[in-house]
Amino acid sequence: MNNEKNVVDTSNWWKNSVVYQIYPRSFQDSNGDGIGDLQGIIKRLDYLQDLGIDAIWLSPVCKSPQDDNGYDISDYQDIDPMFGSLNDMEELIQEAKKRGIRILLDLVLNHSSDEHTWFIEAKKSKDNPYHDYYVWRDGVEGIYPNDMKACFGGPAWEWVPELGQYYFHQFSVKQPDLNWENPKLRREIYDMILWWMDKGVGGFRLDVIDQIAKEPDLKITNNGPRLHEYIKELSKETFQTGNLITVGEAWGANTELAHLYSAPDGSEFSMVFQFEHINLDQQPGGEKWDIKELDFIQLKQILSKWQVELHGKGWNSLFWNNHDLPRIVSRWGNDEQYREESAKMLATILHGMQGTPYIYQGEEIGMTNVKYQIEEYKDIETVNMYKERIEKGYKPEDVMRSIYAKGRDNARTPIQWDSSQYAGFSTVKPWIKVNDNCKEINVENALENKDSIFYYYKKLIQLRKENPVLVHGDYQLLLETNPDIFAYCRNLDGQRMVVVANFHDKEIPFSLKEEGFEVKEYLIHNYREEKAGYLRPYEAYMAILN
């Protein structure tokens, strides 16, 4: 399949696609060990086909000691037995293909596991051929090369006494950073990717790709000087030889950098996955745990800035959720009285924009955050942060408040398929506790109710396929300073669409007519009919204008 080398595909077929993210360990257990697996995903493909998605981004399933739930890979060309086998993976790719769904693999290329053979070899001696696959600095025990910190707590340097050297790790000690300066490592990575392409995967999500060109001596983690040189080479040697969707995770992107990541000439990725809107409820200068109230006006400004500045020059991912983020309906919606309305409202705002929408598993049924005892949390980031903050003298209730709001396990509780004991996820006690609200919030109920969040998402996906204005139209923010309403227009070839949403839980006086608009046709609406002169709590719609 890769015989036509280096042909850039410009058809951009993926622009009207919708991607669904699966976090495999929490999706569906098929063999009664309490952990989701590949056969479990195969069982649920019909459900995903019914929803209408085009591609699945699969969080890592490669061999891994699971220190960071698979984001620490010890063999890039094998499947972790916990999830199944290579045969299961091939079956998943084929079964998905039959249903018009592509499988996107999660490539973790910034670091490997410390149990990868490369690292085991690298540690043997300074002249081992694999030594230079990682980032080392000479030193003395106890005096770190510098004061850089790892994302999951503690110093970013780990001492290896046999070598008299430190290795660098931006994440956990078990995730040593790979040395992209080494062309041999880069070649080995490309060959691995080509091998997966030959197996028929439909694309890749590139984990923390903006961090691969680190320069620890200069304390540079993301956006290192050689970053785009590396990405261009990676893309040319691999992705550009196939017809793929590629998406680069970049916490440090701004719109200018996004023009590079998602350049229309296909020289890097199809699109960028950036977080500027997501960081808005974090105290400036603080960590993600230091929360503040969302500034709604700022949210409108940031989302609109990305719409305008990428139009015609790049391509963005549209998302509220992923496996690292809390559930959006609990975060910026209302997960009690107005759970359905606010989940639909948030979806309307997002799916009305230009870009490729991502739906994170369970979002389509409005799954919510959880409040567990600290012992019930599994995520390395949460567990380490709790310990660190308690040692520093924070009050337990304050630390728990941050975990309830931002902990990554909010997104990682098992999918609620039905109201049975383990929510239809497993027949035994799952690896992480099921949310108690599975009795009411579950797929079975959603499928029975024509007005459910599920069918609303299904309709949004269809609308993107049927209305080019959603894919290609330009963007214009309306009511910029309105503190409750998010409204914007999209225009294409004389056709005009408006998206209107009340972001809050109260009635807001509003009339499209008074704004000078006349509705020709509602495309979607989360209330049955209009209430003249008002938007009700979390009311939202898309409409084509005259």
SS (H, E, C) 406-455: HCHHHHCCCCCCCCCCCCCCCCCCCCCCCCHHHHCCCHHHHHHCCCCHHH
Q: How far is the CB of 106 from ligand GLC (least distance, A)?
A: 8
Extended strands (E) in 94-228: 102-107, 136-138, 157-160, 165-168, 203-206
Asked if 215 and 222 touch (Cβ cutoff 8 Å), the reply is no
Q: Which of 37, 80, 158, 207 binds ligand GLC (CB under 6 A)?
A: 207
Residues in binding contact with ligand GLC, number by CB under 6 A: 8
* Closest residue to Ca ion in the complex (CB): 37
Q: Which of 167, 168, 171, 196 binds ligand GLC (CB under 6 A)?
A: 171
Residues that bind Ca ion (CB under 5 A): 29, 31, 33, 35, 37
Handedness of CA 405, 409, 412, 417 (dihedral sign): negative
- Tell me which of ligand GLC, Ca ion, none is bound by residue 324, counting a contact when its beta carbon lies within the kind-specific cut-off of 5 to 8 angstroms: ligand GLC
**Of residues 66 and 304, the one with the C-beta less far from ligand GLC:** 66
Instruction: Return the number of other C-beta atoms located less than 10 Å from residue 259's C-beta.
Output: 17
Q: In the complex with Ca ion, which residue's Cβ is closer, 31 or 243?
A: 31
* Residues in Cβ contact with 111 at an 8 Å cutoff, skipping those fewer than 6 apart: 72, 169, 170, 171, 175, 176, 177, 178
CB environment 210-242: b (16+ within 10 A), e (fewer): bbbbbebeeeebbbbeebbebbebbbbbbbbbb
Whose CA is closest to 541, among 519, 513, 509? 519
Contacts of 51 (CB under 8 A, 6+ apart): 20, 359, 364, 454, 457, 458, 461
**Tokens 């996955």 map to which residue?**
273
Return the number of the residue (324 or 340) whose C-beta is nearest ligand GLC. Answer: 324
- Residue nearest ligand GLC by beta-carbon distance: 71
CB 80 within 8 A of CB 33: no
CB of 207 to ligand GLC, least distance (A): 5
Q: How far are the Cα atoms of 332, 506, 543 from residue 510, in angstroms, in the given order?
A: 21, 12, 15
By the rule CB under 6 A, 324 interacts with ligand GLC: yes
Q: Which is nearer to Ca ion, 37 or 363 (CB)?
A: 37
432 lines the binding site for ligand GLC (CB under 6 A): no
Write out the binding residues for ligand GLC, residues 22-81 only, by CB under 6 A. 68, 71
| Partner whose footprint covers residue 33, from ligand GLC, Ca ion, none (CB < 5 to 8 Å by kind) | Ca ion
Exactly one of 68, 207, 341, 363 is catalytic; name it: 207
Helix (H/G/I), strand (E/B), else coil: 320: coil
Binding status of residue 108 toward ligand GLC by CB under 6 A: yes
* Nearest CB to ligand GLC, comparing residues 168 and 422: 168
Partner interacting with residue 257 (select from Ca ion, ligand GLC, none; CB below 5-8 Å by kind): none
Residue 68 binding result from Ca ion, ligand GLC, none, given CB thresholds of 5 to 8 Å by partner type = ligand GLC
CB of 135 to ligand GLC, least distance (A): 16
| 90 is annotated as an active-site residue | no
> Judged by CB, which is closer to ligand GLC: 171, or 338?
171
**Catalytic residue from among 29, 88, 249, 539:** 249
Binders in 255-294 for ligand GLC, by CB under 6 A: none
- Whether 147 is a known active-site residue: answer no
Helix (H, G, I), strand (E, B) or coil at 67: coil
Looking at the annotation, which residues are catalytic?
A: 207, 249
Residues that bind ligand GLC in the complex, under the rule CB under 6 A: 68, 71, 108, 171, 207-208, 323-324
